[in-house]
Amino acid sequence: MEHLQAEMDALRNEMLEMYNLVLSQVERAQTALIDTNLSVIKEIGSNEKLVNAKELQIDSRCETILALFTPVAVDLRFVLSALKININLERIGDIADNIARTMSHTKPGFDQELLEKVNAKGAFTMLLEMYKSLLQAFEKEDTLLARDILIRDEAIDSITEEAITITEEYTRSKPDSIGQIVPLISIMKMLERIGDHLKNIAEEIIFYAEARVLKHSSPK
Amino acid sequence: MEGTILRTENLQISFGDNKVVKGINMEIAEKKVTAFMGPSGCGKTTILRAINRLHELTPEAKVEGKIFMHNEDVYEMEAMTLRRRVGMVFQRPNPFPTMSIAENVISGFILNGIKLKTQEKNEIIEDALKKVALWDEVKDYLKKKGTSLSGGQQQRLCLARAVAMKPEVILLDEPTSALDPLSTAKIEDLLYELKGNYTLVIVTHNMQQAARISDMTAFFYLGDLLEYDDTKKVFTNPKNEKTQNYITGRFG
């Protein structure tokens, strides 16, 4: 069915565009936070519209395929997982935008000492590596790579938990830093949520490729 | 509608006292696939057959209103000229049983007394069979009878027969209802390719087929045209409740 295959190929390409759009938003958010590059914040804001437009485009494509082609088996699983991956990618894009907004209200930025203590750079690096692995997992239908993401998300959760303890101690020693602590904790929580969304995407890739539902269960 | 090739004005068709089509006004776009769907008895095949004036072969049939092709009234054209410009493929594959595969392809020329040179004939046969993705399967057996082919191949042969006359429009009356799923898929792929060069109007009972291959879908009910729109709109958000009930399987 050439017509269906053309639609599925178009959906796959649109998904890859979405992955790459959101990846660049997360990379910009890293630059904004770690390098305190406030000019990047505006870029994130304007690109957020592109992410939203791409989300709608993918939703529409999925609707078309479901309505007109009644896909079954692997094609059905791909469309269902595309819908859910799309939502998760859009949320990651929102989080990158929220990080940018939080940064824009936290002038002149965060103390480098504080950022190092909470390992914000480490968290971002880890997330970007996970994201790029996930992109590869999607392109190659590599469920081993996808499963690896499920485990690596736990490291992000650990960093966030520790960050809260570290910031409490930091506030005691430097009470004037409270203006930075609150937004920083908020950003660390956002990074944790990015990890959760990446985990959701990994589960959907496994569902599509293996017809296995891993949601609400331990990684297998 | 931009790029209209066919247009009906208050088209009404009766068989004796039974009015089967009740006043249809519609435009059919050029080089698109338009699907006619609806429950049995809704008039979809009746309308299709009016386009190339097949009802003239039915004594008690009466056609009122107008049908235009490129703004020319089809009922004022010479019938055979119309039927060269508007080809038809029927539900049951019907290659001429006494003719070979090659002869079936050029039967339109043979039956109209149009003489062709050998080279011209061979070019038409090869071109038409290639257009319907049948050439590779039959090129070494062109002298075999058309009826020696499988059902799916016969239907493609019938399409080749239509395409050989270089029509502008091809009417298809449930062209895959007698075929197996694989042959159906091949015909559907073929129709998707053909629409680049021809206007296709297809009557189908298979809603999923209408959804898969058509650009525009017309839903008929008891002789009326209830809805006519982009296929995607009809299958995602039909305006008419009866259309919705039909495509969701609640009736029909």
Does A172 fall in a domain?
Answer: yes
Distance from CA of A149 to the nearest CA of B (A): 36
Q: Average of pLDDT values for B226-250?
A: 93
Cross-chain residue pair B212–A2, CB shorter than 8 Å: no
Q: In this structure, what are the phi and psi dihedrals at residue B231, rounded to the nearest 5 degrees?
A: -55, -40
- Chain B neighbours among A 138-197 (CB < 8 Å)? none
Residue A200 pLDDT? 95
Asked if A7 and A65 touch (Cβ cutoff 8 Å), the reply is: yes
Q: Average of pLDDT values for B82-101?
A: 94
Q: Average of pLDDT values for B57-71?
A: 93
Q: Average of pLDDT values for B159-167?
A: 94
Cross-chain residue pair B212–A64, CB shorter than 8 Å: no
Does A215 fall in a domain?
Answer: no
Assign 3-state DSSP to chain B and report helix, strand, coil percentages, each to 5.
Answer: 40, 25, 35
CA atoms of A184 and B24, how far apart (whole Å): 68
Residue A3 has its nearest CB partner, among B213, B232, B236, at B213
Does A154 fall in a domain?
Answer: yes
| Residue ranges of domains in chain B, CATH in brackets | 4-247 (3.40.50.300)
H or E element in which residue B65 lies: strand B61-69
Q: How far apart are the first and last CA of chain B?
A: 29
Distance from CA of B35 to the nearest CA of A (A): 13
Residue A196 pLDDT? 95
CA atoms of A121 and A104, how far apart (whole Å): 18
* Nearest Cα residue to B10 out of B224, B230, B169: B224
Distance from CA of A65 to the nearest CA of B (A): 9
Residue A2 has its nearest CB partner, among B189, B211, B232, at B189
Q: What ipTM, to 2 d.p.?
A: 0.76
Does A204 fall in a domain?
Answer: yes
* Nearest Cα residue to A185 out of A114, A92, A96: A114
Nearest CA in chain B to A7: B212
Residues of A in contact with B211 (CB under 8 A): 67-70
Residue B112 pLDDT? 85
Query: Which domain covers residue A199, as residue numbers?
Result: 2-210
Cross-chain residue pair A3–B189, CB shorter than 8 Å: yes
Residue A55 pLDDT? 97
Residue A219 pLDDT? 53
Tokens of A153: 């998300």
Residue B223 pLDDT? 95
* R_g of chain A computed on alpha carbons: 19
CATH number at residue A134: 1.20.58.220
Residue A139: other Cβ atoms inside 10 A: 13
Nearest CA in chain B to A5: B189
Does A219 fall in a domain?
Answer: no
Distance from CA of A3 to the nearest CA of B (A): 7
Res. B4 pLDDT band, cuts 50 70 90: very high
Tokens of B80: 């055979």
Does A50 fall in a domain?
Answer: yes
Res. B96 pLDDT band, cuts 50 70 90: very high
10-residue block means of pLDDT along chain A (220 residues)? 89 97 95 82 92 97 95 93 97 95 80 85 93 95 93 87 86 81 91 95 94 72
Phi-psi region of A102 (alpha: psi -120 to 50; beta: other; left: phi over 0): alpha
Question: What tens digit of pLDDT does each residue of B170-210 get?
Answer: 999 999 998 899 889 999 999 988 988 999 999 998 999 99
CA atoms of A15 and A80, how far apart (whole Å): 13
In a mutagenesis test of the B interface, which of A68, A69, A75, A76 is the best target, namely the one with the most B β-carbons within 10 Å?
A: A68
Residues of A in contact with B232 (CB under 8 A): 64, 67-68
Distance from CA of B106 to the nearest CA of A (A): 29
Asked if A162 and A119 touch (Cβ cutoff 8 Å), the reply is: yes
In a mutagenesis test of the A interface, which of B37, B189, B215 is the best target, namely the one with the most A β-carbons within 10 Å?
A: B189
Global pTM? 0.84
How many H-runs (helices) and E-runs (strands) does chain A carry?
7, 0
What's the domain count of chain A? 1
Q: How far apart are the first and last CA of chain A?
A: 34
How buried is residue A52: exposed, middle or buried, by Cβ count under 10 Å (0-12/13-18/19+)? middle
Q: How far is CA B167 from CA B32, B52, B161, B173, in A?
A: 14, 12, 10, 16
Name the pairing type of β-strands B33-37 and B199-203: parallel
Is the per-residue pLDDT at B35 higher than 80? yes
Residue B252 pLDDT? 57
Tokens of A69: 């082609």
Sheet holding B169-173, edge to edge: B86-89, B169-173, B199-203, B33-37, B216-221, B224-230
Does A62 fall in a domain?
Answer: yes
